[in-house]
Chain A
Amino acid sequence: MERKLPIVCPSCDSELKVNSLHCESCSTTISGLFELPLLLKLSRKEQDFILNFVKASGSLKIMAEKLKLSYPTVRNMLDDLIGKIEKLQHTPQ
C-alpha cells in the first residue's frame, strides 16, 4: 500500500514542516526544521496533474484527450492550480 505524505497537521490543520530526514543506506538522521517544497504542499491529485501536464509537453489538448475531459474543463483545472500555487507562494511562511 502506498503511504500518503501528510502535509497538514491531523490535530489542528496547520501546515506541517519537515523535522527529520533519514538515510536508509547508512541510518544517518538529520534533524532540523525544513519547509516542504511548494509542489509537496499540493494534493496528490494536483501533483499528478502537473506530472501529466509536463509529460504531455504542456499541451492542454493532449491532457484533455488523456483525461477524457473537454479542453475548457482541463484549462479550468490548470487555472485553479495556478491560482492555488500563487496563493501558496504569497502566503507568509
Chain B
Amino acid sequence: MITYLFNPFRYIAGVKSLVAGILVLLLTAITGYFSHTHFPDLISIKLSPAFPLWYFVAQVFTNWLVISIVLYMLALIFSSSSVRIIDIFGTQALARVPYFLAAFTGFFGAMHKFGQYILYTRFHQGEPVNLTSTDVVLAVSLMIVSLLLSIWTIILMYNAFRISANVKGGKAVALFITAFIISIVATLFLSRYYLSLITG
C-alpha cells in the first residue's frame, strides 16, 4: 500500500502513466478553474481571482513540462542507463496526482475568507472580514492538508525520477534538487508571463 502511494512507478510508467497523468493534469486545471486555485510555480498552491481556463491549463502543463525537460536532460547526462523520454514525462505527469486533490481546497469558502482577512489585516487591502473560529480551524486544516499534498508530490516526483533515470543515493538527490530549483525559477517566470497576458 505504501509503495502504491509513494512509489507507484515501480508498477506503472511509460504510455500508461503518460495518458493517466495528462488526464490528471487536465482535471487539475479544470478543478482549479472552478475552485479558483492556481499553481503559480512547481509546488505552490494559491487562491486566484477568476482567470480564464487557458491560464490554469497553461500553468498546470508548464509546471509538468518544465520539470520533465530539466530532469530528462540531467538523466541523459548523468545516468548510465538508457533513459526513455516517455518514462520521465509519463511518471512526472502522474506524480502530480496530489495537486488534483489540492485543487479542491479552493472550494471551501473559509480559505477565501482567510485570504481576504490576511490581505486586510497585514496589507490593508480589500474589505474587513469577520472570521469565525470555524473558519480559522477549517482554513488552517486546509493549509496543513495542502502542505502534506505538496510533500507527497515532491516524494512522488523524486521516486519517478529515481526509477525512470535509474539513479540512486546522493547522485539522485543532488540531481533532483538541481532540477527542482531550476524548475521553480522557470515556472515562476512563465507563470508571471501568463499573468501579464491576462492583466495586460
Identify the A interface with B (CB < 8 A): 68-73, 75-76, 79
Contact = CB atoms under 8 A, between A and B. Distances in A.
Nearest to B88: A72
Contacts of A79: 80-81, 166
B9 interface: yes
Contact of A70 (B9, B80, B81): B9
B163 interface: yes
Given A73-B163, A75-B166, A76-B166, A68 B84 contact: no
Contacts of B91: 72
Contacts of B133: none
A68 B12 CA distance: 9
B82 interface: yes
Given A75-B81, A75-B82, A79-B81, A70 B166 contact: no
Nearest to B80: A79
Contacts of B12: 70
Nearest to B86: A71
Contact of A69 (B10, B17, B87): B10
Given A79-B80, A79-B81, A72 B163 contact: yes
Contacts of A70: 9-14, 17, 87, 163
A72 B164 CA distance: 6
Interface residues of B, number: 16
A71 B9 CA distance: 9
Contacts of B166: 72, 75-76, 79
A69 B12 CA distance: 7
Q: Which A-B residue pairs are the 7 nearest by beta carbons?
A: A70-B13, A76-B166, A72-B87, A73-B10, A79-B81, A72-B13, A72-B163
A75 B11 CA distance: 12
Interface in B165-179: 166
A79 B84 CA distance: 14
Given A70-B10, A73-B11, A79-B81, 19 more contacts: A68-B11, A69-B10, A69-B11, A70-B11, A70-B13, A70-B17, A70-B87, A71-B13, A72-B91, A72-B163, A72-B164, A73-B9, A73-B10, A73-B13, A75-B166, A76-B81, A76-B163, A76-B166, A79-B166
Contacts of A75: 81-82, 166
Contacts of A69: 10-11
Interface in B61-94: 80-82, 84, 87, 91
17 contacts: A70-B9, A70-B12, A70-B14, A70-B163, A71-B84, A71-B87, A72-B9, A72-B87, A72-B166, A73-B10, A73-B11, A73-B163, A75-B82, A76-B81, A76-B163, A79-B80, A79-B81
Contacts of B82: 75
A92 to B, nearest CB: 24
